[in-house]
Structure formats: C-alpha cells, structure tokens
Amino acid sequence: MSERVAAFECRMCGHCCLGEGGIVMSPLDRARLAAHLGLAPEDFLARYARRSDGKTYLRTGEDGYCVFFREGCSVHRAKPDICRAWPFFRGNLVDEASWEMAQDFCPGINPAAGHAEFVRQGLACLRAEGVLERAAGGGDECAAALRIPPGLGEDL
Ligand code: SF4
Ligand code: SF4
C-alpha cells in the first residue's frame, strides 16, 4: 500500500456535526472557544454548553446540528479537540471493525488506504494538532475517544 494514499479527506458533509451529546469540551477547549468568541468563560458556558455526567458538551440548535455549524464549522480555528481528532478516535484506531463501520458515517474515510495506514496517518495528525499531548494531560474531563493507548502504531 502506497503511503501517499490519503486515509482521510473531509467531504464537508456535516454528519459529524449533527446530533446531541457527542462534542465533549475539555477546560482547554472551553477557554479557547471563549477567547475566540470574545466571551467571558461563564458567558460562553451559559450560552453554548451543557453539563452531563461530569462533562461539558457543546449544545445543539433546533436543527439538531452543533450550535456552531453554519454550512461548515464557524469556529474552525478554535474548535474542540474532539472535532480536530475525528475520525481518528480511539475506537477507530484500535479496532478495524469500528473503522469499517465509521466509513458508513463518514464519507471522508478512504477504505482503499487500509486500516494500518489509517492508524499511521491518524496518529501523525493527532500529534501534529497537539491533541495527543493535550488529551494526556486532560484528566477526567477529556473525551474517552481521545485517550489513545500508549504504544499504538509503534510497529507501523
Ligand atoms: S462526517 Fe467525515 S466527511 Fe463528513 S464532515 Fe465529518 S469528517 Fe468530514
Ligand atoms: S465545533 Fe465545529 S466541527 Fe465541532 S461539531 Fe461544532 S460545527 Fe462541527
């Protein structure tokens, strides 16, 4: 398999911005978004967040999409790490069957690249975005999908 085959290229379909409950924000995510929007942290939380099970989530609008979805992400530079990481979530990285199922949801995942290449490129992307480092220090409020097992992909 050529390493130049892209394992993922976003098609901007918006599926991953639809639905309640998926977008967990760490304290760093909240601070970044509040600063981006020019809001005090408490005002950002009151307007755009909800708490559940000890975690903080982005709200959705009446259309079911994330409050920041406007035919694309309107806070792209400041979006939460879980949005930066998709589709390179823990489940899709450690489990080939999950990666296959994710292809039904996300048309940006390229099946032709193969799972090993998806893992290799995914880890490189997460490192480049700083997501792995932040998730490692994120504590209990970090999304479980960002907790990548140590040593994953070292043999690739
Ligand atoms: S579901 Fe996949 S292709 Fe669609 S917007 Fe999200 S990342 Fe991009
Ligand atoms: S913050 Fe942006 S990328 Fe994340 S769910 Fe909302 S609109 Fe989508």
Q: Note the pLDDT tens digit of each residue in 91-135.
A: 999 999 999 999 999 999 999 999 999 999 999 999 999 999 998
Helix axes 115-129, 96-105, angle to 10 degrees: 80
Question: pLDDT grade, residue 155 (50/70/90)?
Answer: confident
Q: Which amino acid is at 108?
A: G
Greater model confidence, 34 or 133: 34
CA distance 24 to 34: 15
Please state the pTM of the whole predicted model.
Answer: 0.93
Of 84 and 155, more confident: 84
Q: Give, using CA atoms, the residue closest to atom 8 of ligand 2.
A: 17
CB-defined site of ligand 2, < 6 Å: 17, 23, 58, 66, 68-69, 73, 75, 79-80, 83
pLDDT band for position 63 (cuts 50, 70, 90): very high
**Ligand 2: which residue has its CA nearest to atom 2?**
73
What does the pLDDT read at residue 56?
Answer: 93
